[in-house]
Amino acid sequence: MDRRLVRLLEDGIVLFDRGQFFEAHEVWEDAWRRARDEDRVFLHGLIQVAAGFHKLQCGQPSGTVSLLSKGVAKLAALPAGAFIPELPSFRASVETWKETAARMAGSGAVEFDATALPRLPEPRRRFLERRIDTHVEIESSARRVWEVLADFPAYAHWNPFVRRGMTFRPIVLAADPHRELRWLGRLILPGLFDGEHVFTIAPFSSGRVRFSQRETFRGLLVPLMPRSFWEGTRRGFEEMNSALKRRAES
């Protein structure tokens, strides 16, 4: 894999291990579109596994069975040590959960132990990189959350993180209505202090979603930033999440 694909793979792994399967699916799908040959098969398998576990979170175990079956079949077609040494044990764990989901579907059960779900090996932390990841569940439709999120002129009235009079000109990387908004911001020059910011709306039902706000900072200034900057940024994300929740639910 090239450097960009490896980064997307690792970003998806972090989200997958946090139980944010929809978000991991979105990241890996972005990588899959760029990939070729075995890279493409591997990523497609992970995408289907992530989608399967998202179905489980949505209370649809029968959909989980179908997607995990497809994902495992793709991962099984790869050499045992391909991409990650833990691939065989991960695949076996997914197989076990496929059987569990099948029993759930047969009995009508929807409850499961989220702490026992499979995990992938955590990527090593990069010296010139820092991630901030926050999320909140909102009792509203994905459409309504997107309407609030995309109404930029109204931010000054409700959004405590984006203050009145703020001006910035990011590069929009993706704008998928009701699902994702992603952009890249830079300080002066590329590689100095770049921030890739992502809003994701993960639907659980017609009236409940998880809103995720995350940012990956990269560049020479990352290790020089004080702890107060990171704490303040996380606090700003969380305050915005809470305000978005109140506005979308009202």
Q: Residue 30's pLDDT is what? A: 94
Domains located in the chain, CATH noted: 3-116 (1.10.3450.10), 129-249 (3.30.530.20)
User: If we measure between CA atoms, which residue out of 176, 106, 173, 95 comes closest to residue 143?
Assistant: 176
The whole-number average pLDDT for the span 10-21 is 96
pTM of the model: 0.90
pLDDT of residue 81 exceeding 80, the answer is no
Say what percent of the chain tops pLDDT 90: 84
132-150 in b/e burial notation, b at 16+ Cβ within 10 A? bbbbbebebbbebbbbbbe
SS3 75: helix
Answer whether residue 176 shows pLDDT above 80.
Answer: yes
Higher pLDDT, 188 or 55: 55
Question: What CA–CA distances, in Å, run from 219 to 78, 122, 189, 195, 223?
Answer: 35, 21, 10, 9, 8
CA 65, CA 102: separation in Å to the nearest integer?
A: 6
Model confidence at 164: pLDDT above 60: no
SS3 108: coil
pLDDT category at 51 given cuts 50, 70, 90 is very high
pLDDT in tens, 100-144: 999 999 999 999 999 999 999 988 888 899 999 999 999 999 999
